Structure 1
Amino acid sequence: MDETISEGIIPKIGMGFETEVEAYDAYMKYAKATGFGTQKKTAHKDPITGNILDVSFYCCREGFRATNNRGVTVNNPRPEIRCGCKAMMKINGRYGGRFRIVKFVEEHNHELCGPEKSYMFRCFRQMSDVQQTQVDVAQSCGWPSKKIIDVMAKEVGGIQHLGFTHIDLKNYLRTKRTLEIKQGDSGGVLQYLQRMISEDPHFYYAIQLDVEDLITTLLYDETIETFDWLFGAFEDAMMGKRPKTILTDQDQAMSAALASKLPSTYHRLCVWHIFQNAAIHLSSVFSSFKNTFATDFSRCVYDFEEE
């Protein structure tokens, strides 16, 4: 590369790169330091060799969302962020195999987010293989997703340096569960509980239910009727054996169904959700005492095994 585009350096027409990947990485570095997301569009390829001849890199708010002509009503449409922004960089590879900037538009028609929030753009978020392995190990130890991402963020000096957000983590875990179900592992827990019940008639078990996990793997909606069916089917699978305790994420429909279908089962709330509720209702205390109260309160919630 003739010149290096580092943080704070604006690309210039004529600047050269060995590959289009190198050019895109450079534009990404510039975009992250400036405070906007990017997207890439390949325009032309050599019809004989298939080599890329020119590529354009755009702001992620380029163009406008296409009109949906299928007549389908979307219940939760994604927010519209595209506003016809013209900011872009175009490179041409017709110069002896090298790529040079032939067009660069710096101005945006919208406010930039600032470099401290750039990590939230989709183009800058990706879990590495090493990070996926770390997540798998932490999850196998029973860590909730909130604790996993908090610890990993501290290790790298903040979530802005992590490379992914809590949404990406939940998507990764959801995809992993879906693959396990397709591979036939979804019955593992049921088979284990059924075996334990058959071997020990006095065996009792506790269940922790997360609405998002249930919706992903079993259910189509979150109504009382659906949860009634779920708990009935689960009780049948357990040969009539009911759990002594169920931990949930405070879903109201699930609570109503539990009271109806499993009245003798103790219904308790997940400790993580308890902590989040406390943080909301005690927000003034958290802010007044900075990190000291948050640290002490976290130890009270998570680090003690007795009353």
Structure 2
Amino acid sequence: MEDNIEEVEVVNSEYSIPEDVEVLYTSSIVDQLESKLLVGHVVKSVEDVYLLYCNYAHAKEFSVKKGDQRYFPGTTDLQSKKFECSCEGSKDEKRSVEKIPIYLKPTNRTKCKAKLKISRQMGGEWKVGRFVVEHNHDMVAVDQRHLLRSSQNISHAQKSTLEAMVNAWISVANAVAYMENDAQGSHNLSFIRKDVYDHLGRIKKHTKVENGDASALLHHFISKANKESHFYWNVQLDDDNRVMNFFFRDSRCQVDYEYFGDVMSVDTTYRTNHYNLICAPFVGINHHKQNVMFGLAFMSDETESSFEWLFRTFLESMNGKQPETIFTDQCQAMMNAIETVFPYSHHRLCQWHINQNAPSHLGSLNGDTRFKRLWKKCMSHCESEEEFEETWRIMME
């Protein structure tokens, strides 16, 4: 079996060396990085090997995504972790035969088998257990590889330079143009202009939790964990070691999720008054049709990376159990993170948010009483799939 911790395998690839000097240099880098990823090689941590694999992918011109992970039975300690080519899998493989996709997004997935897997024994060192280098698709062009998602990263030095230029009233466009010129082309930078806007936007929106409040929060979590063995908490820090996002759940949340976690709602509508943090409760419904809490998070922003951290943290706190269905609003960053972290869950949009956003798309139909009556029936009063389909057909006509 592929997921057997004891299994080790490497699939070697023969590289044809072109005469072009730049390609020769790139091939040399690929060879050097591959030598550090051979089966049995000891790695420092999950984070270190992920960065190493991303550097390897950048040199070889493909993108990386984080794959499945396993825990030691009965614990929250990570046992194995996979990193895969972004072309792994196929778009609709997680849907059953009966399920018809509501929409189809373009995909470049080709069921590529290239991957890296690391594993360890309890308390032992992380080692490379599987390294497959063969791809079943073409690599991106060299001058396009800086656009690969796993290749995009702004270093601390680059962040400092950009922030200093923007603070000196230099426009973002001119600041990026300067750095592109300094690097002798945009393809030599590890980020694109959107990454810069996202970074500067986070700085502008993010109000750091003051040291006293952050210390009090951590003290509270530690105290709760000491008193309650199944209390779980986690905190994400930014590059300056400021509290950015945090999540917690108690033992009652874990028990409720075990019984009622098939359907879950994640709502990021509300913010706190003092620090402008986003309140993100994980909510379900019990057998008495009452709301139950599965966990609670506070976030400084709504970026895809923050949501990925949040959902992976939630999944870790619940021993890897994924919900059957997740209801959210129409936040694209959250939708992307759900697709990455919860690949086997069905994602649906919250009815309240649909009703809030629909009028801006309906134009003159907003004043049509017959249409509004049929819309309301579709949204709330159809008792069978057949009744909904018929009502929807009449409404569309």
**TM-score, normalised on structure 2?**
0.38
Pick the structure with greater CA Rg: 1
**TM-score, normalised on structure 1?**
0.48
